[in-house]
Each structure stands twice: as C-alpha cells, then as structure tokens.
Amino acid sequence: MNNDWFLDEQLWLEFYSAMFSPAQFALAAEQIPQIFQLTGSRASNILDLACGPGRHVLPLAELDCKVTAVDASAYLLGKLEENLQVTKSIHPVEIIRADMREFLRPESFDLILSMWTSFGYFENPGDDQKVLENIYQSLAEGGKFLLDVAGKEYIIHNYEPLLTREMGNADLLIEEPILLDNMSRLDNQWTLVSGENVFRTSFSLNIYTAVELQDRLFAAGFSTVQVFGDLDGCEYNLDSDRLILVATR
C-alpha cells in the first residue's frame, strides 16, 4: 500500500459521490450548532483542517465567521470552490492547499476543527503528534480544538472482517478491514460498486482510544481535554460510533 494513500487524488475523485453525498452535506450543516454548543462559544475565526469539499466550511461561511479551509487535495478544494459559488458568505473563505503536517499559523484561530476521521493517516505516529502540536500552536490562547474520529474501542468492539453498506445514492460499499500492529492500526480495503463501475482502494489509519488521544493532546500542550460520544455531548461508551474530543489551549 502507498503510505501516503491520502494524497492520491484518484481516490477522492472515484469515491466522491459515495462519501460526500447531499445527505452528508446536510448532516454537517446540522452539526454546526452542536459544535458551537460543545466548544462553548460561537467562534469567529475558524480553521477547518482537512476540510474536504467543505461540508462544514459552507454552513460556517453563511454565518458571521471567518473561515480558513485547509486540505491537501486539489480535487476536493476545487469542489469546495464550486460549492462556495452558490453560498452567501459574509466573509470570503480563505482556501489553502497544504499538508496538515506542515500547516502552522501561530496563535491565529479561536476554533480548529478536524471532522469525520481526518486524523491518524500517517504511517509514522510521530507525524500525528506533529499535527496536534501544529494545531496547538495555531490556536489563540483559550482557543478550542474539536477532533471527531472513530474510536478504537468502537472499532474493535464492532469488528467484522467484511461489511457492506448501502450508500444514500444507491452505490454499494464493501469494506474489508484488518487490525494490525497490536490493534494500533486499521488497514481497510474498500470496493465501491457504482452502477456499472467498480472502484477499489486501500487505506491505513492509526486508531486511538479516548485515553490515548487525551494523552497525546496533553503532550501537545493542551490544558484541558473533554471526551464525548457524539457531537450532542453524550457520554463516550462502547456504543459510541464517534469519539469527540474538545481540547482547550
């Protein structure tokens, strides 16, 4: 497997319509009030790190927020630009193509988002730590970081070697996950059946428990880290298919 699978533009192009369906955009818009509630403020200067086609950027741009949108994929940022043309944003969105291992803007944001498992991609877990350190440094004093991933507890508790999922647009996604390296890593093979087309991809993620991520966030410098089982602020437990952490600088 290519270690930098996430930089493969073909992957995002082929899986775009299955992953970023209108329903997924609508869901992200519904999440914005929850994000503000959970982070305790209606932040004004926001970084969406690994923003993709802008599921969260678009509704934020329609509010009175200054949004910086960072992603490594030219294809997905192109989709964001297309989407922004039909959005009534008060402030222009700043779009930056950058790798999260390198993006750093000291003390600039009061909220940084990493949504929908956009963390844990790097073969060297030291790179994941570097990303958290960059995020810490890019936050203003008192600023918040919200991290939304699938937790290791849920992944292991619900592990099945073969999963099929019907996507909203009638596509069928077949997942073949394998747990590796003492269950610290998840390799996955996805096969997408879309009409007459079949697309395949493989990817690999570092997976973390709530406590492992908390420790990493403290090591990056954060002063408090709260854990939730969803954006509605519920408790994290074995039924939580999302692991949400809110860290304060």
Ligand X SMILES: C[S@@+](CC[C@H](N)C(=O)[O-])C[C@H]1O[C@@H](n2cnc3c(N)ncnc32)[C@H](O)[C@@H]1O
Residues near ligand X, by CB under 6 A: 6, 12, 50-52, 55, 71-73, 76, 99-101, 115-118, 121
CB 110 within 8 A of CB 139: yes
What's the min distance (Å) between Cβ of 245 and ligand X? 15
Q: Which is nearer to ligand X, 11 or 227 (CB)?
A: 11
What's the min distance (Å) between Cβ of 127 and ligand X? 9
Q: Which is nearer to ligand X, 116 or 190 (CB)?
A: 116
What's the min distance (Å) between Cβ of 188 and ligand X? 12
Span between the terminal Cα atoms of the chain, in Å: 36
What's the min distance (Å) between Cβ of 97 and ligand X? 9
Q: How far apart are CA 212 and CA 233, in angstroms?
A: 20
What's the min distance (Å) between Cβ of 116 and ligand X? 3
Burial of 196 (0-12, 13-18, 19+ CB in 10 A): exposed
What's the min distance (Å) between Cβ of 52 and ligand X? 3
Strands 185-194 and 172-180: antiparallel
Q: Which is nearer to ligand X, 12 or 228 (CB)?
A: 12
Q: Which residues contact 40 (CB under 8 A, 6 or more apart)?
A: 144
Q: Which is nearer to ligand X, 100 or 225 (CB)?
A: 100
Q: Which is nearer to ligand X, 5 or 218 (CB)?
A: 5
Q: Which residues contact 148 (CB under 8 A, 6 or more apart)?
A: 113, 114, 115, 116, 117, 231, 242, 243, 244
Of residues 249, 247, 243, the one with CA closest to residue 225: 247
Of residues 125, 150, 131, the one with CA closest to residue 47: 131
Burial string for 43-61 (b: 16+ CB within 10 Å, else e) reads: bebbbbbbbbbbbbbbbbb
The identity of residue 52, as a single letter, is G
Q: Which is nearer to ligand X, 36 or 218 (CB)?
A: 36
